[in-house]
């Protein structure tokens, strides 16, 4: 079994299991104690689920800075209490008169920064209890709207009252809510029938591995599909530390780095999927080439280790 391995796996979660169940299967297959995921997917959704291994679990918050791309199938003319196909049907309306252009026009209202009210069937907590637990008891509570960012939204086709919609959005966006609000704008109602996450920052569908493939890779001791910690930051500038500098940042001390010693990013940002980092942040590599820290400029040429990867 592999031990203390740090990095990420681009996993493809199928419809059915929870994100936690996928994590649990990989933990058992790999023998790695620290395993997590970036960005939960509902059981009835499929798509990219970044798996964080070892010290990769410390990068969980960094994943929230990256955009996600979804492919949604929205059923027009039907509403449910969960805003998706798993829920109880509340209403049915003939939506055969709705055209692709009608949907295209309505989708324009979702672009940019918008406010969303979290659905009652969501994992948001209210007085310490998940909203979906309250919803199952028939309890509805007031939810404060949240600001989210939708960078791109478009319809590719409309068949049998099912709209196929592509959405590139920021962290915390509820696709179910967009489906529901689209139905309201069209005056026929709508619910989310299927959802697929095809991109998440630098991770793409074509690079994703199924849970069976991942388990087999660990059993056969082939680990080619594990990305290093620095993969998430390949559009950041970086620096390779000397042994003395590495020792200092490991102790939480500021270090001096000259601008001419900072390397350019390996890849240019691809906004908004991978946005450029702030100018005052870089990542640091240890002398042996492993990610050592995220550094934040303090003043002049001095940099503070804002996040350190333990040796």
Residues annotated as catalytic (active site), given as ranges: 42
Query: To which residue do tokens 């991770």 refer?
Result: 203
Pairing relation of β-strands 46-53 and 7-13? antiparallel
Closest C-alpha among 134, 116, 123 to residue 174: 116
How far lies 272's CA from each of 26, 165, 201, 217, in Å? 30, 18, 9, 32
CB 19 within 8 A of CB 48: no
Pairing relation of β-strands 291-299 and 302-308? antiparallel
Buried b (16+ CB within 10 A) or exposed e, 228-253: bbbbbbbbbbbbbbeeebbebbbeee
């Amino acid at each position: 079994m592999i031990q203390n391995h740090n990095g990420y796996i681009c996993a493809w979660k199928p419809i059915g299991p929870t994100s936690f169940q996928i994590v649990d299967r990989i933990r058992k297959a790999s023998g790695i104690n620290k395993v997590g995921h970036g960005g939960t997917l509902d059981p009835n959704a499929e798509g990219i689920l970044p798996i964080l291994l070892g010290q990769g679990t410390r990068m969980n918050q960094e994943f929230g800075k990256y955009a996600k791309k979804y492919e949604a199938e929205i059923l027009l003319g039907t509403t449910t209490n969960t805003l998706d196909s798993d829920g109880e049907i509340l209403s049915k309306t003939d939506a055969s008169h709705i055209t692709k252009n009608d949907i295209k026009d309505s989708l324009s209202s979702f672009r940019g920064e918008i406010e969303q009210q979290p659905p009652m069937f969501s994992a948001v907590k209210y007085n310490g209890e998940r909203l979906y637990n309250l919803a199952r008891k028939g309890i509805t509570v007031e939810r404060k709207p949240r600001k989210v960012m939708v960078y791109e939204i478009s319809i590719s086709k409309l068949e049998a009252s099912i709209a196929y919609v592509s959405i590139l959005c920021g962290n915390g966006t509820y696709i179910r809510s967009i489906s529901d609000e689209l139905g309201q704008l069209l005056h026929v109602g709508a619910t989310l029938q299927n959802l697929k996450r095809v991109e998440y920052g630098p991770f793409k569908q074509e690079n994703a591995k199924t849970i069976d493939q991942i388990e087999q890779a660990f059993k056969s001791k082939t680990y080619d599909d594990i990305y290093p910690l620095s993969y998430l930051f390949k559009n950041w500038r970086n620096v390779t530390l000397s042994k003395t500098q590495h020792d200092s940042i490991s102790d939480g001390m500021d270090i001096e780095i000259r601008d001419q010693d900072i390397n350019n990013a390996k890849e240019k940002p691809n906004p908004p999927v991978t946005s450029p980092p702030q100018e005052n942040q870089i990542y640091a590599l240890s002398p042996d080439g492993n990610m050592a820290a995220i550094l934040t400029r303090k003043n002049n040429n001095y940099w503070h280790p804002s996040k350190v990867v333990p040796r």
